[in-house]
Chain A
Amino acid sequence: MSTATNGTLDAKRSPMWSAGYGHDAISTRTLGFWLYMLSDAMMFTALFVAYTVLGHAFNAAGGPWGATVAHPGVAFEETVWLFSSVLAYGLAMIALTKGHRGGVMLGITAALLIALGFLSVDIHEILHLFRMGATPERSGYLSAFFTLVFYHGLHVVAGIAWMLVMLIQVAFTGLTEKVVYRLLNLRLFWHFQAVMWVFMFTFLYLRGAIV
Chain B
Amino acid sequence: MLVHIDGPWSPLLGRLALSEIPYKNPILVGTFVFAMLVGVVLVGLATYLGAWRTLWRDWLTSVDHKKIGIMYILIGLVMLFRGFIDAVMMRTQQALAVGPRSSGYLHALHGYLTPYHFGQIYTAHGTIMILFAATPLLVGIMNILVPLQIGARDMAYPYLNAVSLWLTAAGAALVMASLFIGNFAHAGWFGIVPVMELPYSPGVGVDYWMWAFQLSSIGTTLGGINLLATIVKMRAPGMTWGRLPIFTWASLSANLISLTTFPVLTVTLALLALDRYVGTHFYTAGLGGNLMLYNDLFWIWGHPEVYFVILPAFGMISEIIPTFSEKPLFGYLGMVLASLGIAGVSWGVWLHHFFTMAAAPAVNAFFSITTMVVGIPTGVKVFNWAFTMFRGRLRFELPMMWASAALFLLLVGGLTGMMNAFATNDYMVHNSVFVVAHFHMMLLLIVYAIFGGVNYWFPKVFGFRLEQRYGKMFFWLFTAGTAVVFIPMFTLGFMGMTRRLDYVAFPQWGPLLDIEVAGIAIYALSVVFLLAQLYVSFRDRAQNRAGLDAWETSRNLEWMTHSPVPFYNFAVTPEIHARDERAWRVEHGVDTVRPERYEDIHMPRNTALPLGLGLLSFGLAFGLVWRIWWLASVCAAMIVVLIVIRSFDNDTDYTIPAQDVERMERDIRDVPSGRPVTGDVAGGVPAFREGV
Contact = CB atoms under 8 A, between A and B. Distances in A.
A17 B574 contact: yes
Interface string B281-298: 110101111101100110
Contact of B588 (A4, A20, A43, A143): A4
Nearest to B292: A53
Contacts of A20: 599
Contacts, number: 170
Contact of A169 (B266, B579, B647): B647
Interface in A1-33: 1-2, 4, 7-9, 11, 14-23, 27-28, 31-32
A135 to B, nearest CB: 9
A202 interface: no
B532 to A, nearest CB: 42
Contacts of A11: 590, 593
Contact of A61 (B263, B267, B287): B287
Contact of A32 (B157, B282, B588, B599): B157
B271 interface: yes
Contacts of A43: 263-264, 266-267
A144 B282 CA distance: 7
B156 A32 contact: yes
Contacts of A17: 572-575, 593, 595-596
Given A7-B587, A139-B281, A54 B290 contact: yes
Nearest to A141: B288
A77 interface: no
Interface in B607-653: 640, 644, 647-648, 650
B288 A46 contact: no
Given A36-B225, A39-B263, A139-B281, A46 B297 contact: yes
B262 interface: yes
B649 to A, nearest CB: 9
A50 B401 CA distance: 47
A178 to B, nearest CB: 7
A27 B233 CA distance: 8
A9 B589 contact: yes
A180 to B, nearest CB: 13
A143 B280 CA distance: 5
B259 interface: yes
B259 A140 contact: no
B236 A39 contact: no
Contacts of B278: 136-137
Given A50-B282, A53-B293, A136-B278, A7 B588 contact: yes
B221 A21 contact: no
A45 B296 CA distance: 13
A140 B572 contact: no
A144 B297 CA distance: 14
A48 B297 CA distance: 12
A67 B294 CA distance: 27
Nearest to B574: A17
Given A17-B574, A143-B274, A137 B225 contact: no
Contacts of B597: 19
A84 interface: no
A169 B648 contact: yes
Q: How large is the interface on B (under 10, 10 to 19, 20 to 34, 35 or more residues)?
A: 35 or more
B585 interface: yes
A210 to B, nearest CB: 20
A32 B260 contact: no
A17 B593 CA distance: 9
Interface in A172-211: 173, 176, 178, 182
A35 B229 contact: yes
B436 interface: no
A113 interface: no
Contact of B225 (A32, A54, A58, A169): A32
B75 interface: no
Contacts of A23: 233-234
A127 interface: no
A47 interface: yes
Given A9-B590, A17-B595, A38 B259 contact: yes
Given A16-B585, A18-B575, A147-B274, A32 B226 contact: yes
Contact of B280 (A4, A136, A165): A136
A182 to B, nearest CB: 7
Nearest to B293: A53
Nearest to B648: A169
Contact of B271 (A7, A8, A16, A50): A50
A49 interface: yes
B593 A61 contact: no
Nearest to B279: A137
B663 to A, nearest CB: 18
Given A31-B229, A35-B229, A19 B599 contact: yes
B288 A61 contact: yes
A36 B221 CA distance: 9
Interface of B: 1, 156-157, 160, 221, 224-226, 228-229, 232-234, 236-238, 259-264, 266-268, 271, 274-275, 278-282, 284, 286-290, 292-293, 296-297, 300, 572-575, 577-579, 584-585, 587-590, 593, 595-597, 599, 602, 640, 644, 647-648, 650
27 contacts: A1-B579, A2-B577, A2-B588, A8-B589, A9-B588, A15-B575, A16-B574, A18-B574, A20-B599, A23-B233, A31-B232, A32-B157, A35-B225, A38-B260, A39-B260, A42-B264, A43-B264, A46-B263, A49-B297, A53-B296, A137-B1, A140-B281, A141-B288, A143-B274, A143-B280, A143-B281, A143-B289
Q: Give the 3 A-B residue pairs with the shortest CB-CB distance, closest first.
A: A140-B288, A143-B280, A59-B288
Given A19-B572, A42-B263, A137-B279, 10 more contacts: A17-B573, A18-B574, A35-B225, A42-B261, A47-B267, A49-B297, A50-B271, A137-B278, A143-B275, A182-B647
